[in-house]
Structure 1
Amino acid sequence: MTVCLRHGQRETSSRSARLTPTKPLARIQQNLVAVQERRLLNWICPRLPTWVTPDKLTVLALLGAVAILAGYVCSIVDRHWLWLSVAGYVVHWFGDSLDGSLARYRSIERPRYGYFVDHSADVLGALLILTGLGISPYIRLDVALIALAGYYMLAAHSFLSARVVGELKLTYVAAGPTELRLILIALTVSMFAIGHDEPQFEGLGAFDLFVGGVGVLLVIVFLFQTVAMIRRLARQGE
């Protein structure tokens, strides 16, 4: 019995090793500001002090997401709190964009650890940001959750693509995380400038229609990308 159990454990361990990707993932990043952003990140990395580490930058990104959430929630009392959300987006970009870049610059990558921690932080950050939008007096929570669902569907597509074809797709329709932050910053500034908008359609205001429309677009992109990947895998016979 003991021998069989140990043999089974060895089989499971061997099978797990085969299923774990060992090759570096191909990062597919074709967003509008990719070139300019890469130049900026390459300029920043050598200027960061040694006490700044990738893990600390990941934590900083999460703190930025918390600031975004706090700004939206506090805008119930005073819309000037929206500027805290705007600042939070800048902090979130700094931490989220530089954690992996700094690890690669210093040649201290831990591919599995970094992949897991970075994307776990991304998922949590999206939850904080879009929940904040839904709690704010400018956008309905159900609408914000549609956008969150669309984001999570595309994130799932990226993770699945990384597993089955070794490609980590970071952009869709020429837009990536940075473009989404810029859109959300513009939306937040518009909410401050315009204030509460009147319902335009079925109790939905202009901000609701915009965020809901983005959410629906993300779902549609997911469906197209999923069909394309299914066809690609079918052609490869895998």
Structure 2
Amino acid sequence: MSEQKINKKLFQDRKRTNILSNPEQRFISFLVSRIPNWLSSDGLTAVGFLGSLMILGSFLLAEYVHRDLLLLAVLGFFVQWFGDSLDGRVAYFRNKSRKWYGFALDIVMDWVSTVFIGLGYMLYTVDDFKYLAFTLVALYGWAMIIAQLRYRITDKYTIDAGLLGPTEIRIIISLVLVLEVIIKGSIDYSVFAICLALFFINISDTKKLLALGDLKDKEEKKAKEKAIQ
């Protein structure tokens, strides 16, 4: 099967707008046919969960052993990306997809991963910066709710907020961790900047979501009036 046909098959269920969508999709298309048969889509989900544990563990090791061990989280984000990006795509490639099972599992694991990252940061940072951990998790949860409501209204599932998607977020956080290893304490100001950006992105996306909801209400009202006539 050609790469173009694989791309079309694997990504027909969702619209991607993130910056790295094209190279990311090509890389995933390259990988799916090379995943051994003994590794199932649920197994890949477990791999992604292992990546989340690595991220949490890196914060603990950085706090109690050495700050340089934060770099373990960079590897953890790659492992997380590998499992999270390939579990559903491998199921599609093997014609074993379970749409709603996979959707539910993906959302739950995304939320667990987000909580682990927030918890790790909370355990690592000091003083009032710990409140940023709660803020980060809350804002990302808000973004997840927007994505689910958009899916409910439009029947089109997208996991991106404009040019930023989960992959870009992982890269940004990885760079933040590398900077923290170089400059201690920089993570707190980086997380604050991320929270600020997420807040304004969520405000914008919420306005767009409400506009979509209003448009659908009007369309349904017209459809009902036409049916009565």
The TM-score, its normalising length taken from structure 2, stands at 0.84
Q: Is the 8 A contact 1:154 1:219 kept in 2?
A: no
Deviations 1:194-228 (A, max 9, x none): 12x3xxxxxxxx43232122113212222221222
Unmatched segments (≥5 aa) in structure 2 = 1-11, 221-229
Residue identity over aligned pairs, in percent, reads: 27
TM-superposed deviation, 1:40: 0.6
Q: Which residue of 2 aligns with 1:83?
A: 71
Greater per-residue helix proportion: 2
- Does 1:134 pair with 2:122? yes
Matched residues in 2 for 1:123 and 1:45: separation? 24
TM-superposed deviation, 1:230: 1.7
Q: Which residue of 1 aligns with 2:91?
A: 103
TM-superposed deviation, 1:104: 1.1
Q: Which residue of 2 aligns with 1:213?
A: 193
TM-superposed deviation, 1:137: 3.6
Letter in 2 for 1:106: R
TM-superposed deviation, 1:80: 2.4
- Does 1:178 pair with 2:178? no
What root-mean-square deviation, in Å, do the aligned CA atoms of Structure 1 and Structure 2 show?
1.9
1:138–1:36 Cα change, 3 Å: farther
Deviations 1:6-38 (A, max 9, x none): xxxxxxxxxxxxxxxxxxx95221111110011
Matches within 5 A, 1:152-231: 152-195=141-184, 197=185, 206-231=186-211
Matched residues in 2 for 1:183 and 1:75: separation? 19
Q: State the secondary structure of the residue aligned to 1:71.
A: helix
User: Which structure has the bigger radius of gyration?
Assistant: 1
Q: Which residue of 2 aligns with 1:234?
A: 214
Segments ≥4 residues shifted beyond 4 Å: none
The TM-score, its normalising length taken from structure 1, stands at 0.81
Unmatched segments (≥5 aa) in structure 1 = 1-24, 198-205
Q: Is the 8 A contact 2:67 2:181 kept in 1?
A: yes
TM-superposed deviation, 1:61: 0.6
